[in-house]
Amino acid sequence: MTTFRSGFVAVVGRPNVGKSTLVNTFVGQKVAIVSDKPQTTRRHIRGIRTTDDAQIVFTDTPGFHKPRTTLGARMNDLVGEAVHGVDLVLHVVDAASGVGRGDAFVYERQVKESGAPAFCVVNKVDAATGRDEVPQLVAAAAIGEYAEVVPVSATQGRGVATLLELVLARLPEGPLYFPGSEVTDQPADVRVAELVREQALAVTREEVPHSIAVVIEEVDEREGLTEIHASLIVERDSQKGILIGKGGQTLKAIGSQARERIEPLVGERVFLDLRVKVMKEWQRDPKALDRLGY
């Protein structure tokens, strides 16, 4: 009889190294939103890959960084929680921007502290223009004690199959933790809110992205139509104006692009009503963070 293997794998790294893209590639579909803005991921996001003989539960984590707000500190705490008690840690570094002190900081504060076996995943090797791949692999290996150092391109899929084989070889025999059909444990309303935030990040300027949160206010399911009312939360009136845009065009674009991505998730037509609200300095307000689910 074939042995069934299963386990939990934490995916960690500094901001913008491609952790969410890698988890989506592992799972085979989008479970984590992706943006070129740092600290896009704000929660634990579990991506589940199930085959006939294994189940791997990947936990995508916020980029570990030196926090400047209460939200940033809470996001760092999430990374610590994610690496606790896992079977393996994947420490993702960025070959395109170069392996450096920020990666060593993550290793010392999170990877090493976890006590779990760790792989260093050297991502974006396809985009390492002017940075030869081999020196980046050497620099990555020098950060700490890794069981494996694996070059990949999460966007192109290069090296991902090899990485998966190495991950599977490290997993113990175990049960099916989630039904085989599930790809994430995120509730539907959280996934919808994240898809709205992803599109808001895509169309806004540098001063706004960190200040955006999304709250699903109401979902009304009718035959053949899901009506969703959501609020985009910002910290200042000026940011509210940017999100709405001239004649409401920016908000309309966010809604249109988000609806296209939400409809496949809910499996029917969606009416999406978006409003923008100001919650002063919510990133620094513990009570506001609690209300927003952070």
Q: What is the pLDDT of residues 121-158, one digit of tens each?
A: 999 998 876 557 788 899 999 999 999 999 999 999 99
Please give the average per-residue pLDDT across 282-293, as a whole number. Answer: 91
pLDDT-derived band at 50, boundaries 50, 70, 90:
very high
pTM: predicted TM-score of the whole model, two decimal places: 0.91
pLDDT tens digits, residue range 253-275?
Answer: 999 999 999 999 999 999 999 99
Can you give the pLDDT at residue 1? 61
Can you give the pLDDT at residue 89? 97
pLDDT tens digits, residue range 192-250?
Answer: 999 999 999 998 876 687 889 999 999 999 888 999 999 999 999 999 999 999 999 99
Q: Terminus-to-terminus CA distance in the chain, angstroms?
A: 44
Q: Which of 13-22, 70-79, 87-96, 173-182 has the lowest mean pLDDT?
A: 70-79
Can you give the pLDDT at residue 129? 60
Do 195 and 266 contact (CB within 8 A), yes or no? no
Q: Tell the residue number behind the tokens 């085959």, with chain if given.
A: 51
Can you give the pLDDT at residue 131? 57
* Percentage of the chain lying above the pLDDT 70 cut: 98
Do 55 and 176 contact (CB within 8 A), yes or no? yes
Please give the average per-residue pLDDT across 46-58, as a whole number. Answer: 96
Q: Which domains does the chain have, with CATH numbers?
A: 5-170 (3.40.50.300), 188-291 (3.30.300.20)
Q: How far apart are CA 44 and CA 227, in angstroms?
A: 27
Can you give the pLDDT at residue 117? 96
